[in-house]
Structure 1
């Protein structure tokens, strides 16, 4: 699955819509605000931010293809600007941002702590930042051999996702950067294997693990066959945080 379609698929899932709505509500955007979407991808959430009536919405992404698509999707919205940039060196001035969001971005970044330092630099003293980040080391499924589940999860954490466990570090990294953090942990539940396979990538990651010699082909095939038939459940811990610049 190409990256743009993958991001759109994730955003359309019911669990994603639910937490995105909570984060948007927590931002409490006002008409005079400048809002920043760090790692905006193809612009999946930029139009929702624009619909708040914010004076200015800025999207930043490090992938030129994502930036091009986000610009295409928002070309009829003069209050939205999309820039190519690094989350660790945001192309905005000090204290320029009233509200910011970072949604499922930190596991892609080499230095997540640097992202929080940049957010602290660009966000006003009375600003608000919302963060959403899954912890890939918590993926759990039923049915299936738990040993294969564990092997697949470990392979994903070791070889597929750059910072697989950054979700559990969100509050600490934010506080070390000078934010006060209000943290919430939820566990979205997935019951349809086909849709979940697109989002969590069981089939493609099992194939990678087999090719890498980390998983026996027969056991892997049996595990996937069990997941595809009968009742299915998967879950993963999602860490969401509302951050405000601290006074200390």
Structure 2
């Protein structure tokens, strides 16, 4: 039983890479995800000739969009996964119609990217600090690679805000806890403001709701069936109660009462001219 969060931490060893691609592609299409992403782009304060880094770039959806904001500049995507690097390169070609030399994708560990300091005007990361062992180190590395006065931005969920609408509150809480506990850093959204403050001068902080109203979407993004299976296997929920709970979700979906809710924090900061970086 592969938990979605486990797969994101080990993409190249994931039993079902297609599952990750399906999840990321769905998120990309949903309006609430598009809204917070737009805010994260704006928080970078990019000029037309800017150089921007997109860390843990995944399938590369953000790379062509960032390039539109820096038409005379460049975009560099980094990802630890060989599979995601190849997918991002292919996505750039699909969107641009050919390889674009101003958009590059490199394999790299966000804890130590191996590029020179002060190289970029801005750097961003999106929903990936929740998966990595040392988010503070990663934010420090992002600060290192941007120039003095440059901007670092992160968008991350606060899984303590995760709610599945149901009258069966006890079972719902077990399912919510099981899913959030699958992440290395489930509270990273609310922690961003302090982690950024250790390295940068805060320039932006906003919180964005992600509201799903379809059970099918929640199944893909929140891994509901696998989450309930884990709860049953760990004896936190009897199998019969898990079945009743899921039947309730299905009835809510049919009657248009289903919802699942999560908050995403977007935080940006400016690199200080004098400091450690």
Normalised-by-shorter TM-score class: over 0.9
> What do the CA deviations read for 1:195-248 (whole angstroms, capped 9, x no partner)?
122112222211222223332211111111111213112111211112112467
Report what 1:10 is aligned to. 27
Question: TM-score of the superposition, structure 2-length normalised?
Answer: 0.84
Q: Which runs of 5+ in 2 are unaligned?
A: 1-17, 94-98
**Cα pair 1:136 1:157 within 8 Å, conserved:** yes
Q: 2:54 is matched with which residue: 34, 37, 46?
A: 37
Find the counterpart in structure 1 of residue 195 from structure 2.
173
Partner of 1:227: 249
Partner of 1:35, secondary structure, is strand
> What's the secondary structure of 1:221's corresponding residue?
helix
- Aligned-partner Cα distance in 2 for 1:80–1:91: 18
**Hey, what does 1:103 align to over in structure 2?**
126
Residue in structure 2 matched with residue 188 of structure 1 by the alignment:
210
Change (3 A) 1:152 1:181: farther
| Alignment-derived partner of residue 90 in structure 2 | 72
Aligned position for 2:75: 57
**Which stretch shifts more, 42-51 or 200-209?**
200-209
- How many residue pairs get aligned? The number is 247
- Paired with 2:37 and 2:146, the residues of 1 have a C-alpha distance of 20
Displacement after TM superposition at 1:151 (Å)? 0.9
Residues 1:150 and 1:54: Cα distance change in structure 2 (over 3 Å): farther
SS in 1 for 2:160: helix
Q: TM-score, normalised by structure 1?
A: 0.93
> Partners in 1 of 2:112 and 2:167 — Cα distance?
43
Distance in 1 separating the partners of 2:23 and 2:90: 18
Tell me how large the CA RMSD over aligned residues is.
1.7
CA positional deviation for 1:77: 1.6
Q: Is the 8 A contact 1:113 1:177 kept in 2?
A: no
